[in-house]
Structure 1
């Protein structure tokens, strides 16, 4: 390796994990900019080294997520070679933890957060999350709004979907005003108006879409039954508007870098490499949520000054 110009070990890791530059292009970029002729094998070897260096920080991130009042959980697909794999995230406003595992309750458990969590878990309606009975739940309102909009497209002559969507969106407007300190609480008359519209819309919808024989039901019927049977989990944001969010946007945002990685760099070539990338990305995203730049966070890991999340911030 020609070291005619200074080269820091954190530079390739920054390019690989935060800028989504593939290994081959990272090696070429380093050669072009610094004059150091590095091998792709050397570049790739830095990722597991970085994973080891940030391990203590990520372990604390995991512990703090368990202690949080609000937790967002989500999942998406990624690829390792030609194989589709599932990726899970658990995150808050301040912390992110990504892990590779099957799309199952056991897979979600592997992150080490959800089995021990006791706060409010914000998620979509995927059935695996329902098994976490020790915590309370908030179903993502944005997902429900999209499902209601799809129902309107399927049944334009019916009105129940519009009424339920109006109730959910209206309550969210009031809840947002509470979080922004514009009002101290959702006014009782406004709360009653929207709750009555919500429950009445479900009642009308169920009458329009009666249960079919057998276990398989229509999409509309399944949506309506979920809204009816999990009403407390749908409306929790209105019960605690200061703290409980309406959507799972935080979880979805935490997964976007993975999709960006696939688009720019392509799939990971090994499970070990994918796990290392996700661990380092968890560290970087958490540090950035605390105002630490990605490059500074990596630099600190490689120079013995590892960034650690503050213990007092667990929400």
Structure 2
């Protein structure tokens, strides 16, 4: 005879599979919305499937969020969603895999760059402090120009001019070899991504950080800490679909449970709630 707990787990799992099946069209709508977004932020976190290591990938557009659990930390999920020739603004941390999107306009996350500066400042001494402090000052200047633009104290053209000047100053900072090994690694990274540091100044409205991605990952991290991941690949796919629909509803300031309830009691696929700007 099946134990009550096992029976309850099987019933819950069956209901989640049924729900995910009914949300198939909504999930496709999410993926199309992210693909069609002019800006996407990517982020990822460790995951577990059947006790084995996996990765949860999140891709956040302006009006939708798509999750995918994958066995690898690879370009696969991003390529399946966006296509390698996607040409929007791609915000992310320094993960090298995203560099393969050569048609995209990239924005390296300023928050990650600031943290690297702070770490080098905290651990450095003497002359080794000059480089991270100089980088931090240039990054802060970028924020200052953006704030001046937002307060109508600078034009979009003026902001682009200042972005060019900041890029030149950054190049002068990073081009010479550094005696401190950690400084040299950071300098090489910045040199390789010079054209991706101040995209948010060239393209007004673009995010300077990947805060959207980190916000999307946060509830998933809590879920992982409580439940430990997924037991099966089918469960991972189910969770990816349900989470994507729920997070997109929240992003559009709609009740995700109300949408799912309505979808479960009708036989026809429902359109996702419209983004606020479209209502």
TM-score by length of 1: 0.76
CA distance in structure 2 between the partners assigned to 1:230 and 1:184 by the alignment: 26
Distance 1:303 1:168, change over 3 A: same
CA distance in structure 2 between the partners assigned to 1:120 and 1:233 by the alignment: 10
Matched with 2:234 is 272
Structure 1 runs not aligned, ≥5 long: 1-23, 28-37, 211-217
CA distance in structure 1 between the partners assigned to 2:136 and 2:225 by the alignment: 34
CA contact (8 A) 1:70 1:243 kept: no
Matched with 1:202 is 174
CA distance in structure 1 between the partners assigned to 2:183 and 2:83 by the alignment: 30
CA distance in structure 2 between the partners assigned to 1:133 and 1:69 by the alignment: 16
Matched with 2:216 is 254
Name which one, 1 or 2, has greater alpha-carbon Rg.
1
TM-score by length of 2: 0.85
**3-state secondary structure, aligned to 1:133:** coil
Matched with 2:82 is 113
CA contact (8 A) 2:37 2:63 kept: no
Distance 1:193 1:109, change over 3 A: closer
CA contact (8 A) 2:85 2:102 kept: no
Matched with 1:97 is 66
* 1:73 Cα deviation from its structure 2 partner: 0.9
* 1:208 Cα deviation from its structure 2 partner: 2.7
* 1:58 Cα deviation from its structure 2 partner: 1.3
* 1:128 Cα deviation from its structure 2 partner: 0.7
Following superposition of structure 1 onto structure 2, how do residues 157-176 of structure 1 map, counting pairs within 5 Å?
Answer: 157=126, 158-176=129-147
CA distance in structure 1 between the partners assigned to 2:166 and 2:79 by the alignment: 36
CA distance in structure 1 between the partners assigned to 2:94 and 2:167 by the alignment: 21
* 1:177 Cα deviation from its structure 2 partner: 4.4
Question: How many residues align structurally?
Answer: 268
Matched with 1:40 is 9
- Are residues 1:284 and 2:243 paired? no
* 1:135 Cα deviation from its structure 2 partner: 1.3
CA distance in structure 2 between the partners assigned to 1:177 and 1:285 by the alignment: 33
CA distance in structure 1 between the partners assigned to 2:100 and 2:168 by the alignment: 29
CA distance in structure 1 between the partners assigned to 2:182 and 2:131 by the alignment: 14
* 1:225 Cα deviation from its structure 2 partner: 1.5
Following superposition of structure 1 onto structure 2, how do residues 1-315 of structure 1 map, counting pairs within 5 Å?
Answer: 39-101=8-70, 102-110=72-80, 112-157=81-126, 158-179=129-150, 181-185=151-155, 187=158, 194-195=166-167, 197-203=169-175, 206-209=176-179, 218-240=181-203, 242-304=204-266, 306-308=270-272, 310=274
Distance 1:42 1:164, change over 3 A: same
Structure 2 runs not aligned, ≥5 long: none
Query: Which ranges of 4 or more aligned residues in structure 1 deviate by more than 4 Å?
Result: 186-197, 309-314
